[in-house]
Amino acid sequence: MGRVLRFVSTTLAPMTFSVGALSRASSSRGIIDHRLERRALINEYRRGRLRQDQVCDAHPELIRAARNVGTVASNPCPVCEEAELRLVTYVFGARLPPHGRCVSTAKEMATLNRRREELSAYIVEACVNCHWHHLLRVLPVGGR
């Protein structure tokens, strides 16, 4: 949360020029992937340009959510290399609390996905051991 990044990240959805793209013209929402930014940050840490306290500064509420409702990630933490990496999903949008809603089940996500309002799901990885965290993806939800 208090990180300073030296990289510019782009969050543009890829454009396609196919006939199928025209059928989706009513909705320009897409997935925003932050893997390149994550890789750059990890590389800066491993090169010694960032200290561990600069990259492992997750908010206690995020760590609590990761520990209690997060799903276990398939890969270990990139900083401490422990298998305590969890994925937490927060949904933001109309008629939801300003701090978002932490989604803990697939059923809850399916219910949100049926809503008429356009929502955004933020998938965050967090290590309950060293407190590393990073936003992985932003996904469109709802808007049916």
The C-alpha atoms of residue 133 and residue 127 are separated, in whole angstroms, by: 6
The predicted structure's pLDDT at residue 136: 96
Q: Can you state the percent helix, strand and coil of the chain, rounding each to 5?
A: 25, 25, 50
pLDDT at 7 over 50: no
**pLDDT given at position 23:** 39
Answer for the pair 119, 97: CB distance below 8 angstroms, yes or no.
Answer: no
How confident is the model over 18-45, as a mean pLDDT?
Answer: 74
Q: Report the pLDDT value the prediction gives residue 28, as an integer from 0 to 100.
A: 64
Is pLDDT of 15 > 70?
Answer: no
pLDDT on residue 82: 87
Q: Whole-model pTM above 0.85?
A: no
Q: What average pLDDT score do residues 103-107 get?
A: 92
Torsion of Cα atoms, 18 then 141 then 110 then 70, to 10°: 120
Separation between Cα atoms, residue 47 and residue 28, nearest integer Å: 38
- For range 16-36, the mean pLDDT: 62
Domain ranges in the chain?
Answer: 30-142
Stretch 21-38: mean pLDDT: 71
Residue 83: the pLDDT is 83
Mean pLDDT of the chain: 84
pLDDT grade, residue 79 (50/70/90)? very high
